[in-house]
Amino acid sequence: MSNTGIITKTSNQNFQDTYTKLKGIIHNNPNLKILLELDHQANAASVDLTLPPTKIIFFGNPKLGTPLMQSGTLTGLDLP
């Protein structure tokens, strides 16, 4: 696999337990804010297609990200 900047970890728990734990860790960190959640499996099901459980949590720190975007709005392409 090439160096894409994406880190993949294998969980010993099932998908939902892993997702719930990760979401809780982010939610309980006062420096982070969950901005958006996407459920690709549910979106696929809405058009009668199937996917395995596939969710994305967009999270960030607006206090740190906003000044970066103020200095260059294109920075928002790299931030949630």
Q: Across the chain, what does the average pLDDT equal?
A: 91
The model scores a pTM over 0.85: no
The verdict on residue 1 lying in a domain is no
The verdict on residue 68 lying in a domain is yes
Count structural domains, the chain: 1
**pLDDT at residue 36, as a whole number:** 94
Q: Return the CATH number at 38.
A: 3.30.310.70
List per-block mean pLDDT (blocks of 10 residues) for the chain, which spans 80 residues: 78 96 96 95 98 94 89 83
State which residues form the domain around 71: 15-77
Measured between its terminal Cα atoms, the distance across the chain in Å is: 24
Distance between CA 76 and CA 70 in Å, rounded? 10
- Label residue 26 exposed, middle or buried (CB < 10 Å: 0-12, 13-18, 19+): middle
**pLDDT at residue 2, as a whole number:** 63
The verdict on residue 4 lying in a domain is no
Cβ 26 vs Cβ 34: under 8 Å: yes
